Amino acid sequence: MRSKLIPAILLTLALVAGLAGLAYTFRSGPTAEEKSADTSAEDDADASAEAAKVAAEPAPETNKSPDLSVDGDGLSRAVAQIRTARGNVRFKFYTKDAPKTVERIVQLINEGFYNGLTFHRVVPNFVIQGGDPQGNGTGGSGTRLKAEFNKRQHRAGAVAMARSADPDSADSQFYVTLSPQPHLDQQYTVFGQVIEGMDVVEKIRPGDAMSAVVIEPTAPEPPPSPTNETLDEGSPPPAAAAPPAAKPKR
């Protein structure tokens, strides 16, 4: 009886070993989850190194007399900058659409309120949220703001005020949308729009710090282009317009 069992056991072991070999063959490369984890680990390591570098740098100065006049799109000439270990995010203000909110946010920025605070909430494809001294979504500066709901849309990169169920409960916490969120329109105060650094916004993770939030020095306006009326006597006339470019053939 024992002599018959031994070949059967050996055959079973061989089959198991063969299946394990097949499994290993089909599993020869890393899974998508493992690749993502590896990439995340690399990003976190890079962010940690950059955070140490940023921490060693002196805090940048903020522009305490920003030009909040708006352009044709309703955005301010002044630019705010959120500095993080993953890169910088730049946004402009909708001064006329949310004047009191913009006034308060500018005040908090210039007081250094946001320096060192974190993004405590990150929801993929939805929003990143920060500006809470408690770091858990329950805190603020202590000054509530009246809602200034407006017609600015929650497109990707919209900067808006977080609040509780009370429309007039916004304080210092703000969020940036990662994608269009039309269901939030006219339910929250949109006060700005990202103009540069959406790739950085998409890399933010819970707990990432804002090393500094400042308002950049306002760039001088470019001089007006010369026209026929403003050319000095003796100035050469403007060059003739080039002929229209041919349209590509289909």
Against a cut of 0.75, is the pTM above it? no
Tell me what the mean pLDDT of segment 187-207 comes to.
Answer: 98
Residue 40 has pLDDT above 80, yes or no: no
**Which tokens sit at 6?**
């031994």
- Do 143 and 171 meet the contact criterion of CB atoms below 8 Å apart? yes
- Do 163 and 170 meet the contact criterion of CB atoms below 8 Å apart? yes
Instruction: Determine whether 82 is exposed, middle or buried from the number of CB atoms within 10 Å of its CB (0-12, 13-18, 19+).
Output: buried
Task: Enumerate the domain spans of the chain.
Answer: 36-215
pLDDT tens across 202-247, in order? 999 999 999 999 999 987 766 766 655 554 555 555 555 555 555 4
Q: How far apart are CA 80 and CA 227, in angstroms?
A: 34
Structural domain 36-215, CATH architecture? Beta Barrel (2.40)
pLDDT tens across 46-94, in order? 656 555 555 456 667 898 999 999 999 999 999 999 999 999 999 999 9
CA dist 11 → 58, 68, 69, 108 (Å): 71, 81, 83, 75
